[in-house]
A and B are shown apart, each in its own frame.
Chain A
Amino acid sequence: DSGVTQTPKHLITATGQRVTLRCSPRSGDLSVYWYQQSLDQGLQFLIQYYNGEERAKGNILERFSAQQFPDLHSELNLSSLELGDSALYFCASSVGREVQETQYFGPGTRLLVL
C-alpha cells in the first residue's frame, strides 16, 4: 500500500459525458502527478501540481483539467469524453517538487467510455 488513494476504482460512462477522478496523496506529500495508461500509448504524464499550483504539463488534452485543493487532494476532470479516453488513470504523489524524489503511485481508476 503506497498511501495514495484514488476513487473511484472503476468508472463506466458514455461518449460526450464528463467525469471527475479523485486522488488523495500520502500524508505530508505536496506534489500530485496524474498519468494516463492506455494499451497503445503506454504510460503518459499528464500534469503535476505542487501545493495547489500547477507545476508541469505533459500530454494533457484541452478537454482535461485538474486542480489541487487546500487539503492537497487533487481532482482530474475529463470532459466531452471519447472512446479513446478509455484508460487507466494513475495519480502519484511526492514530498516536494525535486526530480530526485520518489513518486508513490495509487492503484488507479479504470475508465471505460462506451
Chain B
Amino acid sequence: DAKTTQPNSMESNEEEPVHLPCNHSTISGTDYIHWYRQLPSQGPEYVIHGLTSNVNNRMASLAIAEDRKSSTLILHRATLRDAAVYYCILRAIIQGAQKLVFGQGTRLTINP
C-alpha cells in the first residue's frame, strides 16, 4: 500500500523560502499528490496538488521528482500566517473507489 513520510517538524524564518519534503516511494501511477495545511484550531485547507509536473499557484509551488517517489512543497516567502501543520496526501481511484493516504504531517514554525 502507498505511504507518505514527512518530517515531524521544521522551522524557518519569516520572509525566507521553506521547502517541505514528502517521501512517497510506493506511489502508483494514478496517485495524485495533494498538500493541505491545518492552521491552529481550524480544519485543513487546500494548498496545491499535482500528478507529474511541477505546479505553481498563488500559495505555493509543488516540485515533483522525476520518478515521483518524492515531492517538495515550496513556500517562497514564509510569513507568520504560514505556521501550520502541512499534510502530504496521495489520492487515487482504485476499482471505482477513492483511496486517500495521509502523511503524519510536518509542523512548520516560523520565526519572526
A residues near B, CB below 8 A? Answer: 2, 4, 33, 42-45, 48, 55-58, 90, 92, 97, 99-100, 102-108
A23 to chain B, nearest CB (A): 11
Chain A interface helix/strand/loop/mixed: strand
Cβ-closest chain A residue relative to B51: A100
Of the stretches B11-19, B39-47, B62-70, the one at the interface is B39-47
**A residues in contact with B98, CB < 8 Å:** 48, 55-56, 97, 99
**B residues in contact with A48, CB < 8 Å:** 98
| Inter-subunit contact B43/A108 (CB<8 Å) | yes
Sample of 27 A–B contacts (CB below 8 Å): A2-B45, A4-B43, A33-B100, A42-B105, A43-B44, A43-B87, A44-B102, A45-B102, A55-B96, A55-B97, A56-B97, A56-B100, A57-B97, A92-B43, A92-B44, A97-B98, A99-B93, A102-B46, A103-B36, A103-B44, A104-B46, A105-B44, A105-B45, A106-B43, A107-B42, A107-B43, A108-B43
| Inter-subunit contact B100/A58 (CB<8 Å) | yes
Q: Which one, A90, A99, A104, A107, contacts B91 given CB within 8 A? A: A99
| Inter-subunit contact A100/B105 (CB<8 Å) | no
| Inter-subunit contact B102/A43 (CB<8 Å) | yes
A58 to B36, CA, bound (A): 18
Besides A90-B44, A92-B44, 7 more A-B contacts (Cβ < 8 Å) are A43-B38, A55-B96, A55-B98, A99-B32, A99-B92, A99-B98, A103-B44
A33 to B44, CA, bound (A): 13
A73 to B99, CA, bound (A): 22
**B residues in contact with A103, CB < 8 Å:** 36, 44, 46
Answer yes or no: B104 CB below 8 A from chain A CBs: yes
**B residues in contact with A105, CB < 8 Å:** 36, 43-45
Answer yes or no: B24 CB below 8 A from chain A CBs: no
**B residues in contact with A102, CB < 8 Å:** 46, 49
